[in-house]
Structure 1
Amino acid sequence: MITRQEINGKAPMNYNWFDVNELNDSDTRQLKRLFRLTPEIIDYVSDRHERPHYDFDIHTQSELVVYDVPLWPDKVTAHFTTRPIIFLLQGTTVFTFHTDETAYVFEQFKQEKVKEIKNATEFIMTFLLHAAKYFNQALDKLNVERNRLDKNLNNHIVNTDLRHLAQIEKSLVYLSSSIKTNLVMLESLRHTPLTLQITKEAQEKLDDILIETEQASRMVQISNEVTEKISTTSNNILNNNLNDTMKFLTVWSLILTIPTIMTGFFGMNVKLPGAQFPLAWIAIIILNIVFMAWLYFYLKKNHFL
């Protein structure tokens, strides 16, 4: 659906903003007819997996900016993912393309008290600065969840916590990849036609976006390293616990082998030395206990226990 948008309850004075949510065939025909968008541009803006980048079409004088934003976990996907939002600039007209999944960025942008924006370039920079903060929010949420899991895993390791930790690792992979590509795209904007006649305010916003993104890049790197350490430590503890369990079972299997062997001998239907004595079974029990105790202390002395 194509909608002409307003900021702070009024239409912009120096540019037009058209927001396209869930681009469909009807919207495509309308964009081609009214705004002369080429099939190549339509392919770009309709791709839900387009990677962050900047593109300039010299024939139509169109500028395309693709920027990833995070998607929060839901019932279907238990970890963070990312999706692109796309800005298309033609002269003084800005088109934004997004899906229902990324609509939250636009809704919150409209609700914020955005001061008067002078032109379309400044609008894009203001929006990107607004969108950049969501990566830090996502990382903060992951860090809180990771710290909670770290506390639980220090007390007792359970499969549920390990699965949650795995979801955090997946989230960090998605966020890290998008932050890096966003940063490359933002740094490349300094040398594009979009910033040739950029205003001082827009330049300051671009600098702020780069600072926010670089900070998020460092945060996700640190968070990823910490999460890997926790995961490695948890695996080492599990392996150590398994080794202790196997050692315990092996040792007691050896100790319990002694009465099995001795009772096996004396349980045979043949005459054995001492079998005629009425209290022979007590002697057998005592011998079992003696040999078992000897084996137990021998294994303990040699650190098998």
Structure 2
Amino acid sequence: MMRTFSTVGGQIEQIEKPAPGSWICLSEPTDVELATVSEACDIDLADLRAPLDDEERSRVDVEDNYTMIIVDIPTVEERGGRDWYETIPLSIIIVDDIIITVCMQDTPVLHPFMEGTIRGFNTFMKSRFILQILYRNATMYLRYLRIIDRESDKLELKLRHSMQNREILMLLELSKTLVYFTTSLKSNEIVMEKLNTLSRIRQYPDDQDLLDDVIIENKQAIEMANIYSGVLANMTDAFASVVSNNLNNVMRVFTIISITLSIPTLIFSMYGMNFQEGMLGMPFTGHAWGFAIVIVISLLVSVLVTWFLTRSRMFK
């Protein structure tokens, strides 16, 4: 989808055709839209297609008539009724009088710009627009990191009484997300450092302060991702041991039950079909209450064995 915006009278408006100082937003673009922008703005079609590859790395490319900046942005993907977080590339291309963004999805990172809710946003100020996108991107990382932290807290409560692998696998999925976030944030940090020395992009007086804020927010996101990643790794190991310990407790109960039931089974199997009067060497065979006495004795022995096993150090 191709949309064009421009700041008119201090307000962001969607226009029909690109004009000087406008912003072309390509979200899930078709081949026709890419070819149209490539021909109209004299941009290499391969560069326009670059962010459509989810493995594209963050970088800054300076060409003869345009500059391309690719950064990784966070995105939400629904799988199995749950939200999972990944990163995808976003390309920002600066031509002489037009700025172009290309992304494989309609990302929420750009929605506030389209809605005009970003303070001080103006499509004519290309360098500030780039920094505002990067700042918005860093804040989105921080927001998703806080959501991941809350999700891990919920999983922790479930894991306290769980013996299933589902919660452990969800923790591993969150850990994988944090690895993606950390890698992407570090790549974005390199891009920001290069922007600080890029002379082609003219900066306004307040842009340096905004760039410093972007770098600070990005570093904070990196630190949070590293902290949460370490916490999740330790939590995964700890609760894997908890699940194993819970399983051992269940096996302990089953073992005690199995040993207890083996006592009457052993006694009854010795008597078997031989519980009859006159049977030599078989106690109580000649007694009128012999069968009842054998049952009572087996029950008493079973209770005694159960009491002993429940207090034995081997089963604690």
Same fold per TM (> 0.5)? yes
Matches within 5 A, 1:37-186: 37-57=43-63, 60-75=64-79, 78-102=83-107, 104-110=108-114, 111-115=116-120, 117=122, 119-154=125-160, 161-162=167-168, 164-186=170-192
- CA–CA distance in structure 2, aligned partners of residues 21 and 292 of structure 1: 73
Distance 1:41 1:99, change over 3 A: closer
Q: 2:197 aligns with which of 186, 191, 197?
A: 191
Query: How many aligned positions are there?
Result: 301
TM-score, normalising length from structure 1? 0.85
State yes or no: 1:296 paired with 2:306.
yes
- CA–CA distance in structure 1, aligned partners of residues 297 and 171 of structure 2: 52
- CA–CA distance in structure 2, aligned partners of residues 42 and 101 of structure 1: 16
Consecutive unaligned residues in structure 1, runs of 5 or more: none
- CA–CA distance in structure 2, aligned partners of residues 238 and 211 of structure 1: 40
C-alpha contact (below 8 Å) 1:73/1:80 kept by paired residues: yes
1:109 alignment partner AA? F
1:6 alignment partner AA? S
Q: 1:257 aligns with which of 262, 281, 286?
A: 262
The answer for the alignment partner of 1:6 in structure 2 is 6
Q: After the TM superposition, which of the residue ranges 225-234 and 258-267 deviates more from structure 2?
A: 225-234
Give the 3-state SS of the residue equivalent to 2:262 in structure 1.
helix
Cα displacement (A) at 1:243? 0.7
Q: 1:27 aligns with which of 26, 33, 51?
A: 33
Cα displacement (A) at 1:17? 2.4
State yes or no: 1:36 paired with 2:46.
no
C-alpha contact (below 8 Å) 1:44/1:50 kept by paired residues: yes
C-alpha contact (below 8 Å) 1:67/1:86 kept by paired residues: yes
- CA–CA distance in structure 1, aligned partners of residues 292 and 144 of structure 2: 71
Q: After the TM superposition, which of the residue ranges 284-293 and 260-269 deviates more from structure 2?
A: 284-293
Distance 1:142 1:301, change over 3 A: closer
C-alpha contact (below 8 Å) 1:126/1:202 kept by paired residues: no
C-alpha contact (below 8 Å) 2:76/2:85 kept by paired residues: yes
1:180 alignment partner AA? K
Q: After the TM superposition, which of the residue ranges 134-143 and 197-206 deviates more from structure 2?
A: 197-206
C-alpha contact (below 8 Å) 1:255/1:296 kept by paired residues: yes
Q: Deviations over 1:78-117 (max 9, x none)?
A: 4111222111112332211124431x22221232143265
The answer for the alignment partner of 1:283 in structure 2 is 293
Give the 3-state SS of the residue equivalent to 2:189 in structure 1.
helix
Q: After the TM superposition, which of the residue ranges 160-169 and 30-39 deviates more from structure 2?
A: 160-169
Cα displacement (A) at 1:48? 4.2
Cα displacement (A) at 1:209? 0.8
C-alpha contact (below 8 Å) 1:247/1:304 kept by paired residues: no
Distance 1:106 1:285, change over 3 A: same
Give the 3-state SS of the residue equivalent to 2:78 in structure 1.
coil
- CA–CA distance in structure 1, aligned partners of residues 244 and 200 of structure 2: 55
- CA–CA distance in structure 2, aligned partners of residues 177 and 73 of structure 1: 19
- CA–CA distance in structure 2, aligned partners of residues 116 and 260 of structure 1: 83
C-alpha contact (below 8 Å) 2:4/2:24 kept by paired residues: yes
TM-score, normalising length from structure 2? 0.82
Q: Deviations over 1:241-265 (max 9, x none)?
A: 1111112212221222121111111
Choose between structure 1 and 2: higher helix proportion.
1
